[in-house]
Amino acid sequence: MTAAPHPDDEPIPSRLVSVPMVPPGGFTAADLPRLEGAIDGRFELLDGDVVMMAPANHWHNTAMRRLSALLEAVAPADVVIVTEQGVNLGASVPIPDL
């Protein structure tokens, strides 16, 4: 199946995502439980701001799985390789792939 061409001068339809108003000083990691209930979609918290994350594609998922397997093969026994876990830095909670 192929998609019909989309004229360059027409807007691309989209689905709006509601993001809460950023409080003075920005959001923190402590706000994450409430934010996860309020935001429909994947996001990171960077310097107090909510940053929406693009969905991963097949290439990305394959590369992440392969890299994870390679790291696990050479990592010391006391090291755990995890994927897509937020790192609490206070006003930022980035979610690295590995």
Phi, psi of 15 (to 5 degrees): -105, 130
The percentage of the chain sitting over the pLDDT mark of 70, rounded to a whole number, equals 86
CA-CA distance, 94 to 47, in Å (whole number)? 10
CA-CA distance, 95 to 18, in Å (whole number)? 20
The percentage of the chain sitting over the pLDDT mark of 90, rounded to a whole number, equals 31
Tell me the per-residue pLDDT of 9-57, one tens digit each, with 9 for 90 and over: 677 777 766 778 888 989 999 998 888 888 888 889 999 998 888 888 8
pLDDT at 83: 87
Q: Provide the whole-model pTM.
A: 0.65
